[in-house]
Structure formats: C-alpha cells, structure tokens
Chain A
Amino acid sequence: EAQVTQNPRYLITVTGKKLTVTCSQNMNHEYMSWYRQDPGLGLRQIYYSMNVEVTDKGDVPEGYKVSRKEKRNFPLILESPSPNQTSLYFCASSPILYPGQNSPLHFGNGTRLTVT
C-alpha cells in the first residue's frame, strides 16, 4: 500500500531533550516536506527536500533540522525542543510531475508532540 509513515504518533517530552520524528514513504517520491499545524494558523511548512541531499527552509524552520540521506526517509530533528514547538506535525511527499509546479501531496497521519 502506498503510504507515508510517521513515527511516533504521540510524543511527550521535556524542554531541551533532543528528539527525532521519522518519516518514510514507499512511493519513490522526489519531494518531501514537513508541516506543523496549530489552531488558527493552518499548516505551515518547516522544511522541504527536492531530492536526496537537497533540503531547504520553509516558512518556520527555526529550532528544527532535517536530513535526506535516502530518497524514502526524511527525519525531523528537534535538537533542543521548547514548549512553543508543541504542535501537530505532518510529513508529506509527492512526485515532481511538472517542473516549477507542485504536485498533490500525500500526507502521513501526523505526530502530536507535547513539550513540557
């Protein structure tokens, strides 16, 4: 089954304790992205990647890191989490069908992170 898999589904941690949220897709998509969703703010892009070893900042990259060593995986790293990073996080992927245009995204089921 074609899917984007995020883990964990729920995570509660304390300020400053490094954590990684994993994301994997089995559709051979070039493009992967991380979003956070907060009430009243919609989805905001954190980082994205056009292909292996190519990553770029989205709208809200501060406090996050990513890596794209393999095409299927795109982990999100919080080196020193803070309470304002409490949010619902989504990983998404898509093929690059048309240069310069965004294709439909396939989303994971989300990771609900709480930082105390």
Chain B
Amino acid sequence: SQQGEEDPQALSIQEGENATMNCSYKTSINNLQWYRQNSGRGLVHLILIRSNEREKHSGRLRVTLDTSKKSSSLLITASRAADTASYFCATDFTGGGNKLTFGTGTQLKVEL
C-alpha cells in the first residue's frame, strides 16, 4: 500500500492566500520529501525534511513534520497563480529499501 496520503485531494484558493497541504504516513521514516508537478511534466523536488527535524523553510515554503502523529504539512504562503500544480509527498521509510514511496497528490489551483 502507498505510504503517503495527501489531504485534501484538491484545493482552490485566491492569489495571495496561504495554501496548506497535509501528508500522513504509516510507518517510521528516514525522511520525507515534497515535490511539485506542473500538468503532465516531471516532478520537481521542493524540500526534504529528516525524521529528527520538526520544521524547514525554503522561500515561501514551510514544511513541518510530526513523527508522533506520522504526518507532515506543506504551507505555501502568499500564493501566486504560478503555484498552480500538483503537490506530492514522498516518504523514505525505514527498512523500505532504496525507494521513495509517493502519495496520490494534492491538486492546487490558485486563481487570480
């Protein structure tokens, strides 16, 4: 079964608002990564957070990790139309071998 599950499946907001996406997983992890995918294109890595980290920032992105709840969130502040994309979490779970397990993604639409 897939390791990461994103919530919500789809999100529509106005430009300038913040967007929050959540990812839950089932077993212990080494790290958790967030990716963005523009329609039909390859995924682009956004941020990696290790299991011993609680929060990371990169520009307008903020990622939190709560290993006790087995969940992570991605916050995009002051969203722009160009942020419209699908966002995926990928988990590197302990003992999972050499692979990242991707969730089904959150489709974000930022409207002008």
Total interface residues on B, using CB and 8 Å? 24
Total interface residues on A, using CB and 8 Å? 30
Which partner residue on chain B sits nearest A33 by CB separation?
A: B99
Pairwise interchain contact A102-B44, C-beta atoms closer than 8 A? no
Which partner residue on chain B sits nearest A40 by CB separation?
A: B104
Pairwise interchain contact A42-B48, C-beta atoms closer than 8 A? no
Pairwise interchain contact B98-A90, C-beta atoms closer than 8 A? no
A25 to B44 CA separation, bound complex (whole angstroms):
15
Q: Kindly state whether residue A29 has any CB partner on chain B within 8 Å.
A: no
Chain A interface SS verdict (over half): strand
Interface residues of A in 74-108 (CB under 8 A from B): 88, 90, 92, 100-108
Interface residues of A in 45-71 (CB under 8 A from B): 45, 48, 50, 56, 58-59
Known A42-B103, A101-B30; contact A109-B98, beta-carbon cutoff 8 A: no
Cβ-neighbour of B98 out of A41, A92, A102, A110 (below 8 A): A102
Pairwise interchain contact A88-B40, C-beta atoms closer than 8 A? yes
Pairwise interchain contact B43-A107, C-beta atoms closer than 8 A? yes
> B88: which A residues are within 8 A, CB to CB?
42-43
Pairwise interchain contact B48-A104, C-beta atoms closer than 8 A? yes
Q: Kindly state whether residue B22 has any CB partner on chain A within 8 Å.
A: no
Which partner residue on chain A sits nearest B51 by CB separation?
A: A101
Residues of B within 8 A of A (CB): 2, 30-31, 33, 35, 40-45, 48, 88, 90, 92, 97-105
8 tightest Cβ-Cβ pairs between the two chains A and B: A107-B42, A104-B45, A43-B102, A42-B104, A102-B92, A101-B30, A107-B43, A109-B42
